[in-house]
Amino acid sequence: MVNTALTGRCFCGEVQFEVTGQPAAMGYCHCESCRTWSAGPVNAFSLWSPDSLRITRGAQSIASFAKNPQSERKWCTRCGGHLFTDHPHWKLVDIYAALLPQLKFEPGVHVHYQETVLPIRDGVVKYKDMPKEMGGSGETLPE
């Protein structure tokens, strides 16, 4: 498979980036942190190796906030548009799926489903919190 770069940008276009390779995982996070950060009912995520991501414009306009050390949330200081969440302990970066219009988004998992405010009946596995290999209980919930 040819690794063509996918391109993305913030809401105003000040920050632009490209990503190459394949995501490690894609899915939906229903946790309260994602909801209050995004002001949306669910976060559609795509997780990548940090090496896959290259900022091509506006790197100086990226700000960061970490409510906890697991998630460093990034946004554009010009428009306030959200960009990424770094997960340093997993060595992964969440590039919000909504910012990668060329990405073939194939959600494989729902995480933190015990916190959902928007149940999604799509037949995709629903973890109560997180899969075991990501440090969670590994327990699943019905839709």
Residue 81 contacts Zn ion per CB under 5 A: yes
Count other C-beta atoms under 10 Å from residue 120's C-beta. 16
Residue 141 engages Zn ion in binding (rule: CB under 5 A): no
3 vs 132 by CB, closer to Zn ion: 132
The only residue of 6, 19, 26, 31 in contact with Zn ion, by rule CB under 5 A: 31
- When asked if residue 130 is in the footprint of Zn ion (CB under 5 A), the reply is no
Backbone φ/ψ region at 142: left (φ over 0), alpha (ψ -120 to 50), beta: beta
Give dist(CA 120, CA 44) in Å, integer.
12
One-letter identity of residue 66: A
Phi, psi of 93 (to 5 degrees): -120, 135
Specify the stretch interacting with Zn ion by CB under 5 A; choose among 16-24, 29-37, 88-96, 99-107.
29-37
Contact positions toward Zn ion, by CB under 5 A? 10, 12, 14, 29, 31, 34, 76, 78-79, 81
